[in-house]
Structure formats: C-alpha cells, structure tokens
A and B are shown apart, each in its own frame.
Chain A
Amino acid sequence: MQSPAHGGGSEAAHGAGAALFGLDPFWTATALFVASYLIIMTERVNRAVVALLGAGLLIVLGILPQGTAVAGIDFNTIGLLTGMMVIVAISRQSGVFQYLAIKAAKWSGGRPWGILVTLSVVTAVLSALLDNVTTVLLIVPVALLICDELEVKPYPILIALIMASNVGGTATLIGDPPNIMIGTQTALTFNDFLFNLGPIVPLIFVATLVPLYLVYGRYMGASEEGMARVMAFRENDAITDPGLLKRSLLVIGLVVVGFVGHHQLGLQPATVAMFGAALLLLLYTVGLSPDAASEKVHEVFAEVEWVTIFFFVGLFMLVAAIEHVGLLQMLADYVLEATGGDFFAASMAIMWVSAVASAVVDNIPFVATLIPMIKSMLPAFHEAGLGGVESSAIWWSLALGACLGGNGSLIGASANLITAGFAERAGHPIRFLPFLMIAFPLMLMQVAIAAVYVWLRYF
C-alpha cells in the first residue's frame, strides 16, 4: 500500500496545524470521517449537526485548512436546492399540486388500480422536476384523502408513490440529490441527463408497475359509492389563488427553459434556479406594502429545509478533508486495482455497489464521497484507453445505482421515510420488513434493467 500522507494533495496538511497535538492528519481525518458517517447512519443525532461538527473539528485540529474546506462546498448544489425549495414553497400555495393529483385520480374513473397508476405518473413527473421529498409531501396527503373517500387501504398506493418518486427523480439533473451533485460537479448538462437517463426511466417505471399489479393491483376494488365520491372531487376548487398560479407557472416555465438551455447560455443550473426564485419572490410580493412583503419573503425563506442545506455544507467539507489527506485517492487506486482498470467492470461495480449501499444508508453522503473518487479515477481509464466508450457512462451508472437504490428499503431515501410517517399517523403503518420483502427485489429488477441499458448503450 502506498503511503497516502505523502501523496500529492497533502503538503498543506504538514503545516503548522497538523503538528498540533501531534496527530497524524491522514488517520485523524479518516477516523473523524468514518465516525461522522456512522453517527449519521444511527440517526441518533441530527445529520446536519454531525456533519458540521465533524467538519468543524477537522478545521480546528488543523487537518483541513479553512480555505480548502470552503472551496469544497459545492455552492451549485446548495443554490440549486435552495432555489427550487423557494419556488415550490411559493407555487404550492396556489393549490396547483393538489389540483394535479385530483385531476389524475379522476382520469382513472375512480378505480383504485387506475388511481395508483395515474397518481404514480404525476408523482414521477413531479419528482423529475422537483425534489422527491417535496413531491411526496404534496401528493401523499391527497392520496390518503382519496383512499379514505374510496374506503380502501392506502398501502399499495403509497408503495407505488415511493417507487415513482425515486424512479422519476432519476430522470433529470434536478430530480434527485445524487443527480444534482453529479450534474453540478461534472461538465454534464441538464440535457445530457435528460437524453441519457430519460429514455430508460419510463421503461423502469412501467416494469415496476407489473409486479405491483400482480401482488396488489388485481385484488384492489372499491364500492361504486366510493368511486363516485372520488369523481365528485372538484379539482378547480383546489386552486385557491389563480393569479399566483399564473405567476408560478410563468416562472417554472422560464426555469425549465433555463435548465434546458443552461449550457448554451453558459449558466449553472444553480444560477437558473436562484434567479427564478428571486423573480417569483418579486412577483409574489409585488404591490404589497413593504412590511407585508417582507413578512411574506420571510415566511417563504423559513420554508427552505435548512437542515438539508447545512447537511450538504458539512458533508462537502468532510469529503474535502479526506480528499485533502489523500484517502480518496487511495480508495480510487484500490477500486482501479480491484477492477483491473476495466472501465465496464468499474461502471457496473459502481452501479451495483451504489444501489445496495443506497438501500441501506442515505445516498447523499455516499455519492458525495464517490464523485471526487471517480473523478480521480477517470485519467487512469483514459490512459488505459476507453475503446470509444464515452467516459460519462460511469456517471450514468452512479446516478442510476444511487437513485434507484433508494427504493430498496424503507430507510433508503428520505421520501420513503416521509411517506411512512404519513402512513403511520393515518393508522396504516408501513413496516420495515414487509416493505423490504417487496421493495428490495423490485429495486434489484430496476437496477438490472439499468445495467442492461448502460451495457447496450455505452459498451
């Protein structure tokens, strides 16, 4: 094994700080990194607190220079997440998301299996454009209400919605945190994601519905009165503020155009999202007295999920630390050695390991660690010759593995836990093991489809 403390990027670690307490920077950083990740996995302490404490300790101990820590924070990820959260916080007040969910349920004629399919389609499409957690927060309450009106158990529909949110989120750069990180830290554009991941996602979605139909769908039934009650929903009444709806749709439209053209315009997705957020904030408060406008702006910013944002901040600094001391390079070398430098083997390994890991732990820290690692492996693959294969294939493998892996267990993605929380409070708990029995095989099937796709398309 090479001696990583003497590797390329670690000279600074030998400065004044590292001499403090006489700690070896490499092992201290590794230990703190692993400890932070383990504590995050136990969920006993808030994950943002753990990540910020770990990063703070590394800086105070002199292992991670402050400049390197700040440079490690990917403000494109932060800006994109914050901007989209602001846009959703405002536009959802118009009632548009409830409108869409009810409209979808009525397209099915009120039949339970039909509702499962149409609500899943809406969830998948919204997840592709919004954060998955936001999407389930908007759709699940409406789904539960519809199930109560139908007087059917919501379990199959909720499982389908969990799957739809994770599968739909896979399709775009902005759909899922792993994709946001990959997109903002590589040169891949919104359209690259759409053209490379977009084609396979609908197939995976349909393939997921087949086993769900066999297990649940064919037994789902509802009374005529129940279906009539669903058809009696008046979706137009869900729109509480038509003026706000128009302004929201205008800005969302502009933001989508901005995403599609961000590469040609020379803009980062974060710029597009934050600019859209600022514009919608202006349109939202225009004409109000300065005091009233300030209060509304304050309320909207208070809805941003700051725990998630600061979790990312801490996490990026933690990853910067292990990159700085050479641990990432060492891991990358190990993976290169284990796969014999074969690009196809490395891509497949990354996809399957990401999928299983994402089912067990939060995929955000996992992907945050893998991105710089893969970046440091790419030159070696280029040297070995890719044989005409696009190097982006490895990024698609990571995105597909990490996003779809979230379906594997109840704790695999935040959207799963949020949905389970709603279900529990409504008296229809989704238990860990029964979910695992259906979700883990489904996830393996989804990743298998993704693996065949990557193999056929890129190798």
Chain B
Amino acid sequence: MLASDVMSTDFFILDPDVPVYQALEPVWEHRRREIPVVDGGRFVGVLTMRELIHRALPSYIRDDRHFDNLTFAPDLRQLGDRLQDLGKSSVREAMSREVRTVAPETSLLAVATALIRDERKETRNVWVVDSDHQLVGQISEWEVLRHVFQQLDFA
C-alpha cells in the first residue's frame, strides 16, 4: 500500500496573507487540527491548533519540562491577550514551516513510521506532495488505520 492509496484529499487550504481569525472562520465547524497553507499553488506550511496554544503560553512555561503541572496557579489574563494577538497576525506568521512531507509513491511502512516519530514536532500529520511541490493529500493516523482496517478480515 502507498501514501497515495490512503491519503485524504478532503482538506481546507489557507491563504498565507489572511489574518488567522479570518482564515479559521470556515474551519471551526469541521474540527480540523492542522490546516495546510498554500501560496500560489506551492505548499508552504501548516497552521496547527496545537501550535497556536503553544505560542500563547508564556515561554517560561512552554520551555520548562518541569513546569507541566500548573493546577496551583490562577488563570492568566495574558493567555487571552496573546491569543488575540495571534488571531490578528497573518497565517504566514503563525503557521509551522517544519512539516513532514512524503511523495505519493512512499510506502505505508514509511508513512506509518513518519507519523509516530518526533512527538514534540509542531505538526503531526504527514503531507503528500508531488514533484512540483503541489499538495495532493493529507495523512493522519486516522487515514492509515481506516484503510488498513477496512482491508482486514475481522470476522
């Protein structure tokens, strides 16, 4: 099985020069975690919900691996302020550029491996890009498992 067999072609595309809050409006109802950003037909990055929250946290909390329990602290007004700033910034400023891409003919083994590696990376999905840097598909754990399970006989 290849990347092109399992990939989903049903995804939103964002324009990099639109403000984040505006770009997300049509997306909210669809509960997407990661949305690709395409500039003049070229795949340039991914806007992720996780990274927006990550960037809204103060650096001393975000970078400190011993600061993972914050149940002792009251709410921080800055969190809302910073999310508002992020919402006003352009998609290009807020997106992640470090994305995992594979070619359509990549094996499922390689796709599955790429999916579970580097849990701390900003984006989790694998993006299928053809030889002209055109985005052709999106693969998450969901696509991989659904395709494989549908072919297996559990009866």
Q: Which residues of A contact B (CB under 8 A)?
A: 92-93, 95, 98, 102, 138, 140-141, 144-145, 148-149, 151, 229, 232-238, 240, 422, 425-427
Q: Are B58 and A145 in contact (CB under 8 A)?
A: yes
Is B59 part of the binding interface, using a Cβ–Cβ cutoff of 8 Å? yes
| CB-contact partner of A149 in B61, B66, B71, B74, under 8 A | B74
B141 at the interface (CB under 8 A from A): no
* Chain B residues with CB under 8 A of A98: 67, 72
Number of interface residues of B (CB under 8 A): 16
A95 near B69 with CB under 8 A, answer: yes
Nearest Cβ distance between residue A321 and chain B, in whole angstroms?
39
Inter-chain contact B60/A426, CB cutoff 8 Å: yes
A233 and B73 in contact, given A141-B67, A148-B78, A425-B63 (Cβ under 8 angstroms): yes
- Name the one of B59, B69, B74 contacting A426, with C-beta atoms under 8 angstroms: B59
**Does B64 sit at the interface, judged by CB under 8 A?**
yes
Q: How far is the CB of A227 from chain B (nearest CB, A)?
A: 12
B residues apposed to A, CB below 8 Å: 58-61, 63-64, 66-67, 69, 71-74, 76-78
Please, how many angstroms separate the alpha-carbon atoms of A145 and B67 in the complex?
11
Contact A148 B58 (CB under 8 A): yes
CA of A238 to CA of B73 in the docked complex: distance in angstroms? 9
Instruction: State whether B60 touches A422 (Cβ < 8 A).
Output: yes
Contacts of B60 in A (CB 8 A): 140-141, 144-145, 422, 425-426
Q: A141-B64, A145-B61, A148-B76 are in contact. List 13 more A-B contacts (CB 8 A).
A: A98-B72, A102-B72, A138-B66, A145-B60, A151-B77, A229-B74, A232-B74, A233-B73, A234-B71, A237-B71, A422-B60, A425-B59, A427-B59
> What's the least CB distance linking B84 to chain A, in Å?
16
Check B72–A237 contact: CB distance below 8 A. yes
Of A141, A233, A234, the residue contacting B61 (CB under 8 A) is A141
CA A266 – CA B154 in complex, angstroms? 70
* B66 A238 Cβ-Cβ under 8 A: no
Known contacts A141-B60, A144-B58, A148-B58; A238 and B69 CB within 8 A of each other: yes
Given known pairs A144-B58, A240-B69, A426-B58, the reply for A149 and B63 (CB within 8 Å) is no
CB distance from A100 to the nearest CB of B (A): 12
Q: What are the 5 closest A-B residue pairs judged by CB atoms, nearest first?
A: A425-B59, A237-B72, A238-B72, A232-B74, A141-B60
Instruction: Quote the shortest CB–CB distance from B55 to chain A (angstroms).
Output: 12
Q: Give the distance in Å from the alpha carbon of A426 to the alpha carbon of B60 in the complex.
A: 7
Distance (Å) between the CB of B66 and the closest chain A CB? 6
Question: How long is the Cα–Cα vector from A426 to B64 in the complex, in angstroms?
Answer: 12
Shortest CB distance A88–B (Å): 11
Contact partners of A229 in chain B: CB under 8 A: 74
On chain A, the residues within 8 Å of B72 by CB distance are 98, 102, 233-238
Report the bound CA distance from A76 to B77 in whole Å.
48
The residue of chain A having its C-beta at the shortest distance from the C-beta of B69 within the complex is A240
17 contacts between A and B (CB under 8 A): A98-B67, A144-B60, A145-B61, A145-B73, A145-B76, A148-B76, A148-B78, A233-B72, A234-B71, A234-B72, A235-B72, A236-B72, A237-B71, A237-B72, A238-B69, A425-B59, A426-B60
Residue in chain B with minimal CB distance to A143: B60
Residues of A within 8 A of B74 (CB): 149, 229, 232-233
Measured between C-beta atoms, what is the minimum distance from A456 to chain B in Å? Answer: 42
CB distance from A420 to the nearest CB of B (A): 13
Nearest-Cβ distance from residue B54 to partner chain A, whole angstroms = 14
Task: Provide the residues of chain B in CB contact with A149, threshold 8 Å.
Answer: 73-74, 76
A238 and B66 CA atoms in complex are apart in Å by 11
CB-CB < 8 A to B59: which residues of A?
422, 425-427
Q: How far is the CA of A427 from the CA of B72 in the complex (A)?
A: 24
Residues of A within 8 A of B73 (CB): 145, 149, 233
Q: In whole angstroms, what is the CA distance A95 to B60 when docked?
A: 16
- Please indicate the chain A residues that have their CB under 8 angstroms from the CB of B67 in the complex: 98, 141
Residues of B within 8 A of A238 (CB): 69, 72
Which chain B positions have C-beta within 8 A of A151?
77
CB distance from A164 to the nearest CB of B (A): 18
Residues of chain B with a CB closer than 8 A to A234's CB = 71-72
B residues less than 8 Å from A141 (CB atoms): 60-61, 64, 67
Q: Which residue of A lies closest to B67 (CB)?
A: A141
